[in-house]
């Protein structure tokens, strides 16, 4: 199976997606990725965008801001993302974890995947989104779109997260740009298609 050719095909069809981080004023800018990775759990991106805009309007732009914001205020700001009580708790836990590194640069440089996975509410997809898009680490993100993409190709493989991740990582060059862009292209493919063929 030639995933590189599939990547090129999607790139030609949809063009570069240039995901994350956007320019919204979060400090550091990569913190937006961490927020988005938690907020997008069990909801669609439009709802996350509203929550991120609310945080921006209220000046809740950094891990320190999250920690210092009253819990009920934070819940109201992210209400559009659903499960807002749980997510507010998760954001505070993640912000505290990040601040434990001293600063975000050190977090980006030193955080280990297994450490992130021990943070309450951080699973494989959330951890790998943070590692790939915020920390610049080569972990291919597997989400519902990726699972449907693989299924549509008729690839016979285990469908658990780690098996699918291994499939992509072993069949693509270990390249941050490719990992980011291919994941974003698969999401775009999933949004535009009825999950039939590529």
Q: What is the pLDDT of residues 55-108, one digit of tens each?
A: 999 999 999 999 999 999 999 999 999 999 999 999 999 999 999 999 999 999
Residue 1 pLDDT > 80? no
Measured distance CA(157)–CA(62) in Å, rounded: 40
Q: Is there a contact between 41 and 126 (Cβ–Cβ < 8 Å)?
A: yes
Tokens of 150: 């693989």
Q: For residue 21, is pLDDT > 90?
A: no
Mean pLDDT of 108-123: 98
**What predicted TM-score, i.e. pTM, was given to this entire model?**
0.93
Class (C level, CATH) for 31-134: mainly alpha
Q: For residues 3 and 185, is the Cβ–Cβ distance under 8 A?
A: no
Q: Which part of the chain is CATH 1.10.340.30?
A: 31-134
Query: What is the reported pLDDT for 198?
Result: 45
- pLDDT for 23: 64
């Amino acid at each position: 199976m030639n995933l590189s050719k599939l990547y090129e095909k999607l790139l030609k069809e949809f063009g570069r997606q240039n995901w994350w981080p956007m320019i919204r004023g979060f400090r550091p800018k990569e913190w937006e990725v961490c927020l988005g990775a938690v907020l997008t759990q069990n909801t669609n991106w439009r709802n996350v965008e509203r929550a991120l805009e609310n945080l921006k309007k209220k000046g809740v732009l950094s891990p320190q801001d999250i920690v210092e914001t009253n819990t009920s205020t934070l819940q109201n700001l992210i209400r559009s993302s659903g499960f807002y009580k749980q997510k507010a708790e998760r954001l505070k836990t993640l912000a505290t974890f990040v601040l434990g590194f001293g600063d975000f640069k050190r977090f980006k440089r030193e955080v280990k995947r297994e450490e992130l996975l021990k943070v309450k509410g951080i699973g494989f997809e959330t951890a790998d989104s943070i590692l790939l898009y915020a920390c610049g680490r080569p972990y291919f993100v597997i989400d519902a779109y990726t699972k449907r993409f693989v299924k549509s190709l008729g690839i016979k493989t285990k469908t658990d997260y780690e098996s699918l991740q291994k499939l992509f990582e072993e069949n693509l060059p270990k390249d941050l740009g490719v990992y980011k862009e291919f994941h974003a292209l698969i999401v775009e493919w999933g949004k535009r298609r009825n999950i039939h063929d590529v």
